[in-house]
Structure 1
Amino acid sequence: MTAAQTPATDQEKLVGPVVRGFDPSIVDAVIEAAYADNPDADIVIDDHAGYVRIHAPRFLRITRASLETAAGQEFPLHSLEPALVGFAGRIRYLGDDELHFYLDREE
């Protein structure tokens, strides 16, 4: 997979998780889920070896179903938390099935 290139002026509008690079299978599953759950988004992957930024402009959705498909096993969203170094934007869990990273306030 290739990451979409985003102009530097739009960097402050990117949202999404920053995942520790210690477990490549988790990183790969989150990347694959990001592409699957956001087919029209310009996903930006920024690999810094120790951590990987997985971002999109303004909104990024990750679902448990896509994580489980990518990982090939059960993958509750809460089990992703230890791998998260941080995130850009705001974050909202929608039950145990979906995670949103977003720029603008959701009411």
Structure 2
Amino acid sequence: MTETHVKMVGPVIRGVDADLADAVIEAVETDNPESEVTVDDRGGYIRISVPQRCRLTRTSLQDALGHDFTLSQLEPSLSSFAGRMHTGDDEIVWYLDRED
């Protein structure tokens, strides 16, 4: 029997700003409704993971925060990420190039 390992992608947020971290989690859950979002809180950082592809939109993040926020403002709190990352003004997408 072969066990399939699901590869996870997504941001790793510094745990210093709890409000921002909570907003990113909420926004990722909103932007990825068909996927299971996993949150691993390690105190100093919070790993947010989604299988294969993780999308975060500016609109969802602003809604979760309750105020205007550009995605470039997230960069100082983004300590790392899993997968490849494509950034734009309106969304960030973490993804895998290959299935293996």
Task: Give the TM-score taking structure 1 as reference length.
Answer: 0.85
Residue 30 of structure 2 corresponds to residue 36 of structure 1? yes
Equivalent-residue separation in structure 1 for 2:53 and 2:10 (angstroms): 8
State the identity as a percent. Answer: 51
Give the deviation of 1:9 after TM superposition: 3.5
Over the aligned positions, Cα root-mean-square deviation in angstroms equals: 1.6
Runs of 4+ aligned structure 1 residues displaced above 4 Å come to none
Query: Which residue of 2 is the match for residue 79 of structure 1?
Result: 73
Query: Which residue of 1 is the match for residue 89 of structure 2?
Result: 96
**Structure 2 counterpart SS, 1:49:** coil
Equivalent-residue separation in structure 2 for 1:77 and 1:31 (angstroms): 14
Give the deviation of 1:104 after TM superposition: 1.8
Contact 1:58/1:104 (<8 A) preserved: no
Instruction: Extract unaligned runs of 5+ from structure 2.
Output: none
Residue 57 of structure 2 corresponds to residue 63 of structure 1? yes
Equivalent-residue separation in structure 1 for 2:59 and 2:50 (angstroms): 20
